[in-house]
Structure 1
Amino acid sequence: MEVTRIACSARLNPGKFEALLEQARRLGRVRSLAWQLFGSINAAPCTGQDLRNLWMRDGTCQTFGVAANAWKETLRDALDDIAASRESAKAAVRRAVAKRPVVDQERCYRLLKANRWTEDRWLSRQMRQQWKRGKNHTHNQIIIRADKVSTFVLVEGGDVWLKVPGIEPRRPVAVPLNTKIAPQGTLRLILRHGRVEVHHQVDADTMRTSHRPCGTRTVGVDKGYTEVLTDSDGDHHGERLGMLLTSESDRITDRNRRRARLRSIANTASEAGRLAKAARVRVNNLGTMKRDRQAARYRAQVRTEIFTAVHRVVDKAEIVVAEDLTKTFSGRRSFGKKTNRRLAAWTKGVTAEALTNVSERRGSALVLVNAAYTSQVCPRCGGFGSRAGEQLYCTSCGVMWQADHAAAINVLRRHGDPDITLRTPHQRVKEILRERADRQRIRLPIQDSSRLGDGGERSIRLRPHLDRCVQ
C-alpha cells in the first residue's frame, strides 16, 4: 500500500516561485484544452495517445511554451481525472442497466466497459444525464516524471534540495525543502501562497511504523470528543483532542467576528468613495494567507494527536473493535449554540481513517460494530442508564460508570453479537436491548422463603455473577 507524503519548501526565493508559477499557469492551459476536447461523450472512444498524437501533428504543443515532458505528464494527469469522472458516471448507469431485461444487460455492460455507449441510444441518453462536461480549475500544479527528479544536499545531514525542470531548457530550478528525506518517483508540485508543496508516494511497507508489532488482545474502543479514544480497559488516549477542538473553534469564531467588522468598514469606505482605504483594508486585513497557514497547522496537530492515540491502542490490540460512525444520525440537538458549534468540528472521519490505516499497516484487524445506544446501556446489567455529562448512572443496579468506558465495553460485546449486526436499525437495537434487560431483571431476583420480613416482604439477593468485575 502506498501513502502520500507532503514536503514543503523552506525560504524559497520569490523569483523561483514566480518562475514555477508561470510554468504552472501554462500547464493549466494544457489541462483546460484536454477537458475541452476529451471531456465529452463524443471523445469517449478516443484515447490519450490519439490526443497527444493530434497535438504533435497539428503543432498545438508548440503553443504551450513548456518542455515536452511537462505537458505530456500534465495531459496524462488530466486524462486520468477525466477517466475518473467518467467511471463515476458509469456506476450510476450500471444501476439503471440492472433494472432492464436480462437479455439487454450483458450487451449494455459490454458497451459501457469498452466506452462504446454511443452505439446505443438508451445508453447514450443515460450517460448524457450522468456525465456532465467538466471544466478545469487547476492552474497551480506541475507534474514531474520520476526520471526528471534529482535531489542534493548542501551540508551533510542537512535538508534536501529538489531540482526540477524550468520553463527554459537546461535551466532547472532548485527548491529548498524542509525535510531530510529525498522525495522519489513521480512528483506533484502544488504552488500556494508563495510556498511549494511536493506530494510524493511512499511505500507503507518500508515505513518505520510498519515494522512495529501489534498487540495480542481484543480491545473495544469508543470515539469521543474530549479524547480521541477510550478503550475497554478504561484507558484514555489522545486527551488533548478536546482542548484542540475547543480552542480552535472559539478562535475561529472570534476571528470571523473581527473580519466581519473589518469587511463592514471596507464596504462603508467603498460606498463613500474612499476606494484607497477600502483597498488597504481588503489587502492587509482580509487576506487568506495567514488563515490558510493556521488552518493547515491546526489540521496537522489534530491528525498527529489522533494517529498517536490509535498507535497506542494498536500497541496492545490484535483485534480492534470500533463503532461504525459513517452513518449520519438525524435529530435536533438540544445543546447550546456554542456546544453545537464545537461538536460540529468533531473529527470522527479522521479517527476512522487513522483506525483503518494504522490497523492495516501494523497487521491488526479492525472490526466495525453497530454504535446504537452503546453509551446509554449499563455494561453490568444491560439496562438503560441515566446519562449526565461524562457519567452514566444505572438505576437498576446502582453503579456509576464513566460513559466512554461503558461505551467501549458495550462496543467490545457487540463483536459477534448474533442479534445486533452492523446494519440493524437503531429502533430494532433498542427493542433488543429492552427485551434482554427485561429477561435479566426477571431472572435475577431470588426469593428466599427462609427470610421473611415483618411486613411479609421477602429479601432479595442478586445472583453471584453480577458481583464479578467487568474485565
Structure 2
Amino acid sequence: MITVVKCIKQHSLQIENIDELKDIATRYVAVKNYVYSRYAGINSLLILNNAKKEIRDVWVKAKFAEQWCLPARYWKMALDEAIANIKTEWANIKLRVKSVTLKNENLTEDERSFILYVIKADKLLFSILKHKSIEKTKKIEKLVIREKYIYSLIRRYVRKYKGKVPYSYNKRSFMIDADMYSYKKDKNGLYIEIMGLDRGKRIKVKLKDENIHKGNLRIILNDDTLEIHRPKKVKANKNWSEDKVIGLDKGYKTLIATSEGKFYGEDLNDLLSKETERLSEVNAKRNKYYALHKTYIEEGKTKKAENILKFNLGKKKYNKLKNRHESVTKSYINQELNRFFISDKPSEIVIEDLTFVSWEKKFPKHIKRKLSSWIKGYINERLNYKAELNCVLVTKINPAYTSQICSICSAFGERVGEVFTCANCGKTHADTNAGVNIKNRKNDKEITLYTPYKKVKKILEDRIA
C-alpha cells in the first residue's frame, strides 16, 4: 500500500488566556533564531549530525538555555526544529552546487566528478571551505584536476548559494511532543491541555471537534484561537488506469495549462488582482497614518501618537482579511488541481524545473505583487502533493526556451501575453504551446535537466538549420 503524509488540522474555540501561549511562542522562536545565528555557518557543518551530544548536552550541563525561561522540553523541541532546518538548507545548497557544476562547460569530467564527490563528503567539504589540507580517498585521488582553481570554485559556489543566516519572524507557532499535552473530555466537549510556563500547570483549550491526536503536534496561534496541525499517513489513490503523459505549464494568469489544450485555475489572476488592489489601497491609507504618528512623536504629542497606533494602525482586522484571502486562494488552488487530476487522469506529469529560477528576474513588478512569497511555494508544494496522492509520477525537465519555440516546427517565435506567433505555423495559445514543448522535452536525449541554456539554444538553432 502506498501512503502519503497529510496535514490534519484541528481548531479551537476562543481562548481567554492565549497570552501565555503567545509568550511561549515568542520564547520558542527566540531559541530557534539563536540556533540559526550560532550554528548555520560553515564552522558548525561537522557537528550538525551529532547535535544531541555537541549542542543539546552541552546546553544542559552549562544550564545555557535558562536564559529563555522555557521548560526544557520546549527549548529542546526548538533546538531540534532549528537544526533540522539548517540541515535542509545545507541540502539545498549542495543541490544548487550540483546543478551549476553539471552546467559548467569550463570543467573537465574529472573536475565535475571531484566536486560532486566533495559536496557529499562533509569532512572534505569543510576542509576545503576552511582552506585546510585534505586527505584524498581512493575514489578521487586519481582524478586529474586544477586543484587551486577547483577548491576556489567550490568556495565561491557555497558562498554564493548559502545566502543570509536563516531567521524566523513567525512568533505564533511552536511544536509540542506527546508528553507536553493531553486530551480531556467532559460533558461540554473535548479539551486539550498544553504545558505552560509554570511547572505542573497546563493551559486548557476548548476544541471544536472531538478528534484525539497522537505524536508531535504543531500549534499555530491566531488572535484569540489556535490551530493544531498533525502529519498523518493516508492511503494514496490510483486515479488513472492507463499510461497518460501530460505536460503542464504553470502560470500566473491561468494556474496550469496542459499539453492537451485544457486550462485549470483561470480565475486565479482575478482573485490575486482584487486582493493586490485592496491591499494597495489599504496600505496607502495606513502609510498616511504612519507618517502622522511619526510627526506626533517628533512634536512630543505622545498621547495622540498612541491613539493613532491604537485606533488606526491595528493589525487585527488587517490580518483577518488578509488571512481570509489566503484561505480562499488556497481553497481555489486545491479545488482546481483536484479537478485536473480527476478529469485528465494522468499517469505522469511533466513540469519545468524552476527550483533555482529567480522570480525577481522572471516577472515584472506588478506580477510579483500578485505572486506573493507564500503562493509561489504553495502552488509547487500542492501540485507535487496531489500527484503523490494520486500515484502520479512527476518528471522535471530543463525549462530553457520552452515558451519561445513552436511546438509544431520547433522554430523560434514570439510570445506576447497569451498568444504565441510562429512565422511558419501562425498563432496559437502560448500556454498550450509551452505545455506541448514541456511534454516533448521529456524524451529529448540531447537536452538534459542540467544542459546549460546557451547550449540548449545552440541545439535548437542547429535543429532548425
| TM-score normalised by length of structure 2 | 0.70
Q: What is the count of residue pairs matched by the alignment?
A: 400
Deviates more, 1:234-243 or 1:137-146: 137-146
Residue 357, structure 1, aligned to residue 385, structure 2: yes
Instruction: Give distance in 2, aligned partners of 1:165 and 1:63.
Output: 19
Q: Which residue of 2 aligns with 1:262?
A: 289
Shift of 1:306: 2.6
Q: Which residue of 1 aligns with 2:10?
A: 7
Residue 199, structure 1, aligned to residue 206, structure 2: no
Q: Which residue of 1 aligns with 2:329?
A: 302
Alignment deviations for residues 311-357 of structure 1 (CA, whole Å, 9 cap, x no partner) = 3333310110111222326997896x645644667944322222222
Instruction: Give distance in 2, aligned partners of 1:240 and 1:288.
Output: 28
Q: Which residue of 2 aligns with 1:414?
A: 441
Residue 20, structure 1, aligned to residue 21, structure 2: yes
8 Å contact kept, 1:238–1:309: yes
Instruction: Give distance in 2, aligned partners of 1:389 and 1:378.
Output: 15
Shift of 1:407: 0.9
The DSSP-based 3-state class of the residue aligned with 1:104 is coil
**Selected match of 1:380 from 408, 411, 414:** 408
Instruction: Give distance in 1, aligned partners of 2:30 and 2:59.
Output: 15
Instruction: Give distance in 1, aligned partners of 2:77 and 2:360.
Output: 46
The DSSP-based 3-state class of the residue aligned with 1:245 is helix
Shift of 1:261: 1.0
Instruction: Give distance in 2, aligned partners of 1:430 and 1:322.
Output: 19
The DSSP-based 3-state class of the residue aligned with 1:182 is coil
Deviates more, 1:43-52 or 1:389-398: 43-52
Task: Indicate how the Cα distance of structure 1 residues 406 and 346 shifts in structure 2: closer, same or farther if over 3 A, else same.
Answer: farther
Task: Indicate how the Cα distance of structure 1 residues 427 and 53 shifts in structure 2: closer, same or farther if over 3 A, else same.
Answer: closer
Q: Which residue of 2 aligns with 1:97?
A: 127
| Residues 154-233 of structure 1: pairs in structure 2 closer than 5 A | 160-167=190-197, 172-179=202-209, 181-203=211-233, 205-206=234-235, 210-211=236-237, 213-214=239-240, 216=242, 217-233=244-260
Residue 234, structure 1, aligned to residue 266, structure 2: no
8 Å contact kept, 2:397–2:442: yes
Report the AA paired with residue 54 of structure 1: K
Q: Which residue of 1 aligns with 2:399?
A: 371
Instruction: Give distance in 1, aligned partners of 2:198 and 2:374.
Output: 48
| Residues 70-469 of structure 1: pairs in structure 2 closer than 5 A | 70-82=71-83, 85=86, 94-97=124-127, 104=135, 143-151=175-183, 160-167=190-197, 172-179=202-209, 181-203=211-233, 205-206=234-235, 210-211=236-237, 213-214=239-240, 216=242, 217-315=244-342, 316-328=345-357, 338=366, 341-342=369-370, 347-398=375-426, 400-438=427-465
Shift of 1:360: 2.2
The DSSP-based 3-state class of the residue aligned with 1:317 is coil
Report the AA paired with residue 149 of structure 1: Y
Structure 2's unaligned 5+ residue stretches are: 95-118, 138-161
User: What percent identity do the matched residue pairs reach?
Assistant: 25
Instruction: Give distance in 2, aligned partners of 1:259 and 1:155.
Output: 46
Instruction: Give distance in 1, aligned partners of 2:419 and 2:400.
Output: 18
Shift of 1:74: 3.0
Shift of 1:190: 4.1
Shift of 1:63: 10
* Relative contact order higher in (CA < 8 Å, ≥ 6 apart): 2
Structure 1's unaligned 5+ residue stretches are: 107-129, 439-471
Shift of 1:225: 1.2
Task: Indicate how the Cα distance of structure 1 residues 431 and 87 shifts in structure 2: closer, same or farther if over 3 A, else same.
Answer: closer
Report the AA paired with residue 273 of structure 2: T
Shift of 1:21: 4.0
Alignment deviations for residues 83-128 of structure 1 (CA, whole Å, 9 cap, x no partner) = 754896797864353588986256xxxxxxxxxxxxxxxxxxxxxx
Alignment deviations for residues 144-163 of structure 1 (CA, whole Å, 9 cap, x no partner) = 3314533356679x8x5323
Instruction: Give distance in 2, aligned partners of 1:135 and 1:383.
Output: 46
Q: Which residue of 1 aligns with 2:159?
A: none
Alignment deviations for residues 13-46 of structure 1 (CA, whole Å, 9 cap, x no partner) = 2xx2134345556777887999999999899684
Task: Indicate how the Cα distance of structure 1 residues 395 and 84 shifts in structure 2: closer, same or farther if over 3 A, else same.
Answer: closer
Alignment deviations for residues 285-310 of structure 1 (CA, whole Å, 9 cap, x no partner) = 22333333333333333333333333
Report the AA paired with residue 327 of structure 1: F
Instruction: Give distance in 2, aligned partners of 1:17 and 1:352.
Output: 34
Instruction: Give distance in 1, aligned partners of 2:281 and 2:125.
Output: 47
Instruction: Give distance in 1, aligned partners of 2:37 and 2:446.
Output: 54
The DSSP-based 3-state class of the residue aligned with 2:248 is strand
Instruction: Give distance in 1, aligned partners of 2:367 and 2:35.
Output: 47
Task: Indicate how the Cα distance of structure 1 residues 77 and 22 shifts in structure 2: closer, same or farther if over 3 A, else same.
Answer: closer
Instruction: Give distance in 2, aligned partners of 1:47 and 1:393.
Output: 61
Instruction: Give distance in 2, aligned partners of 1:17 and 1:215.
Output: 50
Alignment deviations for residues 150-208 of structure 1 (CA, whole Å, 9 cap, x no partner) = 3356679x8x53233445666543313345543331223344533333232222x35xx
Alignment deviations for residues 199-228 of structure 1 (CA, whole Å, 9 cap, x no partner) = 32222x35xxx2353463111111111121
Q: What's the RMSD between the two structures over aligned residues?
A: 4.4
Instruction: Give distance in 2, aligned partners of 1:35 and 1:355.
Output: 30
The DSSP-based 3-state class of the residue aligned with 1:302 is helix
